[in-house]
Amino acid sequence: MDITYLRTPLAFLLLPLVVLGAPTDELHLTEPAPGACRRCCDPPDSSADAPPPPSSHHHLPYPMPEIRPYINITILKGEKGDRGEPGMPGKWGKEGPRGERGAQGQKGSKGQMGTAGDPCKHQYAAFSVGRRKALHSSEGFQVLIFDTVFVNLYSHFDMFNGKFYCSVAGLYFFSLNVHTWNFKETYMHIMRNEEETVILYAQPSDRSIMQSQSLMLDLQENDEVWVRLYKRERENAIYSDDVDVYITFSGYLVKPSLD
């Protein structure tokens, strides 16, 4: 009677530990070790009749949680740093295609009057030169060089290059006179810079004649005016001799520009 009284409280104390604390797939012993305790509610020799536990230990009634570490970046983010120094410039890229020409803008307002010009600058220009030697064209384009000076005011005409250099902008008058050669063509241009302005032409003939050409040009400062021979299929030539002057080129300023 005393033994039964003592086993009953022990069974109530051990049962929660067995149910709640021990997993269901713990290793079951077929026979209790000598001196081991047995539960009072176990049937006699229950361990001998029970089937052996399965060998696998992965048949838990609930999945095991997977542990993954998580770091909150916002906690580790610091304050914004200072702006760094600019880096080295890169290589130049390839030049792009030329764009289309834009629309013409509106005309601007008239500017203020400029300062007074140099009082030492001469507002005059005039020259008259000639050539005493005949000339046969040997190239496609050939500059007509002069060897005689009649007038060369302020040396505006360069005898070495055969060109008049405009020093005073304004309206100019020019004239060219030549003597043709028998049975030869005469083909000449009065040039403004690299642009042909007028032509002096005479067809081949059995007699020589005097030919002339004149014009007026509105020149800008540093413009160049000169004469050239133009050779085509036939020989191009102009006549002169050492006694008389048959070739002359003259020009003078009619009116200077007001700008």
Q: Domains (ranges, CATH) in the chain?
A: 126-256 (2.60.120.40)
Whole-angstrom distance, CA of residue 57 vs CA of residue 24: 10
pLDDT along the chain (259 residues), means of 10: 48 47 46 56 54 55 74 70 83 79 80 68 88 85 93 94 94 95 89 94 85 95 93 82 91 89
Whole-angstrom distance, CA of residue 193 vs CA of residue 196: 8
pTM above 0.85, yes or no: no
What three-state secondary structure class fits 73?
helix
Indicate the length of the chain as a whole number. Answer: 259
Which of these, 198, 187, 195, lies nearest to 237 by C-alpha position? 187
Whole-angstrom distance, CA of residue 249 vs CA of residue 144: 10
What three-state secondary structure class fits 14?
helix
Helices (H), the chain: 2-16, 46-49, 73-76
Whole-angstrom distance, CA of residue 150 vs CA of residue 131: 11
Instruction: Output the pLDDT for position 230.
Output: 83
Instruction: Output the pLDDT for position 2.
Output: 47
Give yes or no for a contact between 136 and 234, defined as CB atoms under 8 angstroms apart: no
